[in-house]
């Protein structure tokens, strides 16, 4: 068993170990305007209904767009889109029309008016089902009402933020530990 030598670590930096879920692009639409933001802070909250908690900073243009339209799409990009993903997260829809500026194609959703991003591996159409934590925590509780996922590859090369401008690109998948699971936890 590996033994680690440890040191005190600033609590404000621990996010770096917990953060690396895939970075996603949140697309929204309100009053004829569409927008995209980059998001790393999301949290799975329930299987069924399929609930996801998302932190959207109140200074972001997307904050009011998602709050007012009560819907958005969580798009999952792969490594090929990494440059756009960072650039989208470093400008605001107040100043930039992001679909055009980043050459991304909006596609009509089935259950929401917010556009899907065609170039992403997966698109999750979401409805805002609980606004009660927005004011205090900027936490949007979304229900995924429709999912569109590429047929292949089964394990896409998603990008995962490590903080400080560093990304991890998803790597090998193993079934080595699968037999240890209780079936209901699979
Ligand atoms: C890798 C990365 C991850 C980010 N994660 C979040 C996040 O979880 N929540 C958030 O509010 N902003 C996050 N941002 C910042 C927003 O994407 C950024 O403020 C964006 O410009 C907002 O665009 P908007 O004003 O058009 O909504 C992230 C940016 C990057 C580059």
pLDDT digits (tens, 9 = 90+) for 39-49: 999 999 999 99
Strand (E) positions, 18-174? 24-30, 33-39, 42-46, 51-55, 71-76, 106-107, 116-117, 122-130, 139-149, 159-161, 167-169
User: What DSSP element (H or E) covers 98?
Assistant: helix 98-101
CB-ligand 1 contact for 23 (6 Å cutoff): yes
Strand (E) positions, 40-107? 42-46, 51-55, 71-76, 106-107
The predicted pLDDT at position 16 comes to: 82
The predicted pLDDT at position 49 comes to: 96
The predicted pLDDT at position 101 comes to: 98
The predicted pLDDT at position 131 comes to: 98
Hey, whose CA ends up nearest to atom 6 of ligand 1?
39
Mutational pocket test of ligand 1: of 89, 96, 98, 167, the residue with most ligand atoms within 8 Å of the beta carbon: 89
The predicted pLDDT at position 30 comes to: 98
User: How far apart are the C-alpha atoms of 38 and 16, rounded to whole Å?
Assistant: 17
From ligand 1's centre to the CA of 177, what distance in Å? 35
The predicted pLDDT at position 10 comes to: 86
| Helices (runs of H) and strands (runs of E) counted in the chain | 5, 11
The predicted pLDDT at position 20 comes to: 77
Closest among 142, 136, 145 to 70, alpha carbons compared: 142
The distance from CA 4 to its chain's CA centroid, rounded to whole angstroms, is 32
Point out the residues of the chain with pLDDT beneath 50.
none
The predicted pLDDT at position 71 comes to: 98
């Amino acid at each position: 068993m590996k033994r680690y030598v440890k040191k005190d670590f600033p609590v404000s930096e621990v996010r770096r170990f917990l953060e690396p879920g895939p970075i996603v692009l949140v697309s929204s639409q309100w009053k004829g305007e569409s927008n995209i933001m980059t998001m790393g802070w999301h949290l799975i909250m329930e299987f069924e209904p399929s609930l996801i908690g998302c932190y959207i900073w109140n200074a972001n243009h997307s904050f009011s767009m998602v709050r007012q339209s009560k819907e958005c799409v969580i798009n999952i990009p792969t490594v090929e889109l990494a440059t756009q993903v960072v650039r989208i997260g470093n400008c605001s829809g107040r100043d930039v029309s992001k679909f055009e500026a980043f050459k991304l194609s909006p596609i009509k959703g089935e259950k929401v008016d917010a556009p899907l991003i065609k170039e992403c591996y997966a698109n999750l159409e979401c409805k805002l089902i609980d606004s009660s934590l927005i004011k205090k925590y900027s936490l949007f509780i979304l229900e995924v009402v429709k999912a569109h996922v590429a047929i292949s590859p089964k394990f896409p090369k998603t990008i995962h933020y490590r903080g400080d401008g560093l990304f991890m690109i998803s790597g090998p998948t193993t079934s080595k530990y699968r037999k240890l699971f209780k079936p209901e936890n699979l």
